[in-house]
Copies of this chain bind each other. A is one copy, B any other.
Amino acid sequence: MSLEQTIAQMQQQMSDMQREITRLNDAAEVRKLHHKYGYFIDHCRYDETVDLFDEEEGEVYFLNGVYKGRAGITRLYCDWFRNMFTRGVNGPIPGFLLDHFLSQDIVDISEGGNTAWVRARCIMMAGYHESVENLVPEMPRSCWEGGIHENTYIKKDGVWKIKTLNYNMLWQADYAKGWGASDVHLLPLTKTYPEDPSGPDYLRDAIPPTWPNTRHVPYHYKHPVNGKDVPYGE
């Protein structure tokens, strides 16, 4: 091999390595972005949460509603959640707990390097202390929630942002009763914006089943060993 060929080959190897390093860094950044989202919503930082989304392409799937773009996402977090949970305060308030424990992430970066997917779990421990007035009529004083995120992220100008936050709330339980004797307390949405001023842009055709029903949350990946799609089924 000529010297020129050797150097060209080395440059190609270096380019391949750099791409792998970039993917590793990207996966770490996206994972941190998801966790930062979690800390913001724990502490009722709704303005900061909205800023994590891509302004144009950002969207949230929550219950059977879809909230589109900056306006829709602001309605969800600032108009609905902030008014419901903290009566308009952008930050934690006394006697209100909303801890989301995020774990079990599976982060994948697209071939092109500008899209990412995260599947992760969420356990929520929430409620309000007996010393405060009932903040949320529907919510038990102490409650559980279990769900799965299957989110999409997008990299623009070198910055990762949330594109689709697809949160699949699967079950909720009154702490006093446990999941064996509870149904979900958060019911499907029935109205869209502007009829509901903090409502979603549209409702999904089908209402995703919730506890005591169960459902498959589709994976963004194939089976890691046999390479097959995992069927939906029962």
Contact = CB atoms under 8 A, between A and B. Distances in A.
Copies of this chain: 3
Given A10-B11, A17-B18, A128-B180, A93 B52 contact: no
Given A33-B224, A92-B234, A213-B94, A99 B146 contact: yes
A135 to B, nearest CB: 11
A interface, by DSSP: helix, strand, loop or mixed? mixed
A216 interface: yes
Given A32-B106, A141-B178, A14 B20 contact: no
Contacts of A93: 214, 234
Contact of A14 (B13, B33, B39, B161): B13
7 contacts: A17-B21, A24-B25, A35-B106, A39-B106, A91-B232, A91-B233, A127-B180
Interface of A: 3, 6-7, 10-11, 13-14, 17-18, 20-21, 24-25, 27-29, 32-33, 35-36, 38-40, 43, 45, 48, 51-52, 89-97, 99, 101-108, 119, 121, 123, 125, 127-132, 140-142, 144, 146, 148, 159-161, 171, 173, 175-176, 178-181, 211-217, 219, 221, 223-226, 230, 232-234
Given A39-B148, A129-B180, 11 more contacts: A7-B7, A14-B17, A27-B28, A35-B119, A51-B223, A92-B215, A95-B212, A95-B213, A127-B180, A142-B178, A176-B178
